[in-house]
Amino acid sequence: MLDATTIYADYQATTPVDPRVIEKMAQFWGNAFGNPHSNDHIIGWRANDAVVDAATSVANLVGATTDEIIFTSGATEANNLALLGLARRAPPDRRRVLVSAIEHKCVLAAARVLSELHGFEVQIIPVDQEGLIDLKALEYSLDPSVLLVCTMAVNNEVGSIQDIPYIAALVHSYGALLHCDAAQAPCAMDLSGLASNVDLMSLSGHKMYGPQGIGVLYVRQGLHDQLEPLIYGGGQQEGLRSGTVPMPLCVGLGSATEFVCGPEAYIERKRIAEQRNVFVGCLQDRDLRIYVNGPCSDCRHPGNANIRFDGLDARDILGSLQPKLAASTGAACASGIPEPSHVLRAMGLTKEQSNASIRFSFGRYTTDEEIDIAANLTLQTIASMRKKQL
């Protein structure tokens, strides 16, 4: 769909906005505009109602209550607010933070700030070769001086799904708090019970067919006072996140949540997993030097296929596939200097293996025909690159 010339296989980078979401948002940029914080007139009251409805939809997705939802600009801000906010009000006897090795760069960077600027001891918890957290190492590192543990629900590069209920029980048994970056989770799993396990949770609109520029930090009831805001101002959102809430974006996020839960979402995940398996099978049947990085399908994002083309460079492959197929390495490269993925390195891959890996991610609008074409294009490209190497 989308663009006739390019097959989109990068749903974990961003999802296209669902047309039903666009339709819902449109009216709030039109006649139903308003500042949700204008308390003195009906236009403001209606705008506020729209924001509250959106927060309720998000809360329903994760099994929370409306007042536990704080809107942010995205998961990056939500993750920063969780780590920095909590650390700035931490009791003096809890000065350690544990962070899994495969967290998104925004969590790792915030954790570095805790260590370098706030004097926290930050410890990285290793993962196994499938990208699953080493639970023994986590347990070994826990003690009553730990303030916070950060483990994502679903990894953005290899799609590994962590056992959050088990981790939560472990973390809480030491009186520590659990923050879960769930940005990639809505398209991967049923989230209905997640809030009952975690203390803080981050979500992002553009990873679930909603708009970019909006996210959420779920803050468990009773924890609001333990967070210092990152942004000060008019005291909106319980003083935790000042600034006018972007009402149309909130409406979009709220609307998007309705299409990632329930029986239809379950069927969609199943269909996407089947397409992903066909894609991987097609590649592996025809080239014996193709490997899959990450876990088995049971504990993996249904749309994720992280594939290693040993002996080749992922960026050369991706370049050769332009403009026909959009996939990515999955590793952040904001500096313009490509680095081997910290996720794949943490799973034990060498630098060369990491640099030979591509993340293909499929989603709502992927068709069987696109899977077929994408597999054939990839095979043709790597065959011709291998030929040139001879």
Ligand X SMILES: Cc1ncc(COP(=O)(O)O)c(C=O)c1O
| Residues of the shown chain interacting with ligand X in the complex, contacts defined by CB under 6 A | 74-76, 104, 106, 152, 156, 181, 183-184, 204, 215
**Closest residue to bound ligand X by CB:** 74
- Report, in Å, the least distance between residue 9 CB and ligand X: 16
* Residue among 304 and 366 whose Cβ is closer to ligand X: 304
249 and 58 in contact (C-beta within 8 Å)?
A: no
* Residue among 10 and 199 whose Cβ is closer to ligand X: 10
Tokens at 212, concatenated: 């970019």
- Measure the CA angle with vertex 114, ends 199 and 238; round to 5°: 45
Phi, psi values for residue 260, rounded to 5°:
-115, 15
240 and 219 in contact (C-beta within 8 Å)?
A: yes
- Report, in Å, the least distance between residue 203 CB and ligand X: 8
**Whether 333 is catalytic:** yes
C-alpha of 91 from chain center: 29
Q: At what angle do helices 105-118 and 75-87 cross, to 10 degrees?
A: 20
- Report, in Å, the least distance between residue 344 CB and ligand X: 15
* Residue among 94 and 241 whose Cβ is closer to ligand X: 241
- Report, in Å, the least distance between residue 82 CB and ligand X: 11
* Residue among 204 and 366 whose Cβ is closer to ligand X: 204
Of 106, 180, 187, 333, the active-site residue reads: 333
Phi, psi values for residue 306, rounded to 5°:
-100, 110
* Residue among 197 and 328 whose Cβ is closer to ligand X: 328
C-alpha of 385 from chain center: 33
* Residue among 100 and 184 whose Cβ is closer to ligand X: 184
119 and 86 in contact (C-beta within 8 Å)?
A: no
Q: What is the 8-class DSSP label of residue 336?
A: S
236 and 244 in contact (C-beta within 8 Å)?
A: yes
- CB neighbours of residue 292 within 10 Å: 18
Phi, psi values for residue 35, rounded to 5°:
-95, 115
Residue 186: strand, helix, or coil: coil
Residue type, 248: P
Residue type, 308: R
* Residue among 97 and 282 whose Cβ is closer to ligand X: 97
Between the alpha carbon of residue 9 and those of residues 154, 276, 312, 336, 378, the distances in Å are: 18, 10, 20, 22, 12
Complete edge-to-edge strand list for the sheet that includes strand 290-293: 290-293, 304-309, 357-361
Q: Which one, of 58, 91, 39, 81, lies nearest residue 240 by Cα?
A: 81
- Report, in Å, the least distance between residue 13 CB and ligand X: 7
- Report, in Å, the least distance between residue 284 CB and ligand X: 26
- Report, in Å, the least distance between residue 380 CB and ligand X: 29
Upstream peptide bond of 323 is cis (omega within 30 degrees of 0)? yes
Tokens at 62, concatenated: 């994760």
* Residue among 74 and 186 whose Cβ is closer to ligand X: 74
- Report, in Å, the least distance between residue 320 CB and ligand X: 25
126 and 134 in contact (C-beta within 8 Å)?
A: yes
Indicate which residues carry an active-site annotation: 333
